[in-house]
Amino acid sequence: MRKHLVLVGGGHAHMVTLENISLFVEKGYKVTVIAPSFHHYYSGMGPGMLGNTYLPEAIRFATKQVVTQQGGIFVKDRVVRIDPVKKLAFTRGGSQFAYDVLSFNAGSYVPMESVPEDRGNIYPVKPIEKLMEASEKLKILFKGKGCTVSIVGGGPSAAEVAGNVWQLARAAKGYLPKIRIFAGKKFMARFPASIRCRVFSVFRKRGIEIIEKGYVKDVTNDKITLENGEIFDTDFVFMALGVIPSSLFELSGLPMGPDKGLRVNKYLQSVAYPEIFGGGDCIYFENQPLDKVGVYAVRENPVLFHNLMASLDGTSLEPFDPGPDYLLIFNLGGKIGILKKNRFVFGGRLAFYIKDYIDRKFIRRFQNIEKIN
């Protein structure tokens, strides 16, 4: 029987493997990709899509098309659990898949348990598809009377979302909304003062309010309540509270890191099951815990591709080296960016255009695969 490679999720760390599915097929391996959506959206351009800088089609990768045109099988479903002993993956739709080698790139999500079931105008900042829906709703809201948009969370995704909501509203030429960021005790706390000051300065000029009075206790469709009891009215809410890996590792009894991500060794391989690999936000790299940024998912690509093939071929694995400090650029909307590399920081239009250039180049490279095969 043909050896079977199952890819769980078609995220940023699986791009090179997806690009090379035909190589697996030529060698006689069967490849199945299980993902909940026909497309994968590039998160680095997500806030820009929210702000209308990019169309949804410009920032996505046609996963299903790329898989099937190379002879792989695409299954639109979500893996909910695996049985690592029997080597079976189970999906929400009730199917099961036997595998010889399996790789997880199932990403991370914003926990929404504290939010009411009726989430009319409450949106998580991930999955990125949600930002597309939010953008359409906001355009309608901005046409009416003045409104308030709240962003719960104090990190870079809160900053990027706030800045791009402002851009969207300005372009709508209706009433400018009140935009409030509920940043806990300190906005952008893990970043140096050089970055924080720049973000504060940009947002102050735009009238975006940053609230650092403490954590949010309760969120409903029209109210934000702080732990100190203070209540704020709202019309629309983004939840940007930080992300956690999928619960599927816990449900599968797989060894995990403290963040409940799949615990992997230097080969991006499960520490308990050598035929299981993973990359991106859903792993805990035990040699050196990694930030949950797309940069690492992208850097993991060639190693993950090599090791999946090597594992099927029975040849040697390659170690993953996370590499040096990475370039960070925040898109604050209004074509303003803030760039950080090591200790070097600058802000302004140039920073935005550098990000725009890098991001467009990245997505174009993978969108080109749709045409080649």
Ligand X SMILES: Cc1cc2nc3c(=O)[nH]c(=O)nc-3n(C[C@H](O)[C@H](O)[C@H](O)COP(=O)(O)OP(=O)(O)OC[C@H]3O[C@@H](n4cnc5c(N)ncnc54)[C@H](O)[C@@H]3O)c2cc1C
List interacting residues with ligand X (CB under 6 A): 8-13, 34-37, 40, 43-44, 46-47, 78-79, 105-108, 125-127, 157, 160, 246, 248, 280-282, 292-295, 297
Least distance to ligand X from the beta carbon of 132, Å?
12
**CB nearer ligand X, residue 44 or residue 184:** 44
The three-class DSSP label of residue 169 is helix
Give the residue with the Cβ less far from ligand X, 78 or 214.
78
Q: Which residues contact 344 (CB under 8 A, 6 or more apart)?
A: none
Taking the least distance from each CB to ligand X, the nearer of 45 and 317 is 45
Cβ–Cβ < 8 Å for 310, 101:
no
| Distance separating alpha carbons of residues 338 and 349, to the nearest angstrom | 9
Q: Nearer to ligand X by C-beta: 112 or 295? A: 295
Pick 241 or 317: Cβ nearer ligand X: 241
CB of 119 to ligand X, least distance (A): 17
The least distance separating ligand X from the CB of residue 73, rounded to whole angstroms, comes to: 14
The dihedral through the CA atoms of 54, 60, 62, 64 has a sign that is negative
Cβ nearer to ligand X, comparing 50 with 309: 50
Q: How long a stretch of residues is the chain?
A: 373
**Helix (H), strand (E), coil (C) string for 256-318:** ECCCCCEEECCCCEECCCCCEEECHHHEEECCCCCCCCHHHHHHHHHHHHHHHHHHHHCCCCC
Of 106 and 351, nearer to ligand X (C-beta) is 106
Structure tokens at 282: 């859903």
330 DSSP β-pair partners: 338
The nearer residue to ligand X, 106 or 147, going by C-beta atoms, is: 106
The distance in angstroms from the start CA to the end CA of the chain is 26
For the bound state, the minimum distance from the C-beta of residue 167 to ligand X, rounded and expressed in Å, comes to: 14
Shortest distance (Å) from residue 27 CB to ligand X: 24
Q: CA 276, CA 254: separation in Å to the nearest integer?
A: 10
Helix (H) or strand (E) holding 211, with range, is strand 209-211
Minimum distance from CB of 188 to ligand X (Å)? 14
Residue type, 20: N
**Order of strands across the sheet that contains 4-8:** 73-76, 30-35, 4-8, 101-104, 276-278
Q: How far is the CB of 334 from ligand X (least distance, A)?
A: 17
Minimum separation from the CB atom of position 7 to ligand X (A): 9
Residue 296: CB minimum distance to ligand X, A: 7
Q: What is the DSSP letter of 222?
A: S
Q: Which of 16, 10, 4 lies closest to 299 in space, CA to CA?
A: 16
Asked whether 241 and 217 are in contact (CB, 8 A), the reply is: no
When the beta carbons of 160 and 235 are compared against ligand X, the nearer one is 160
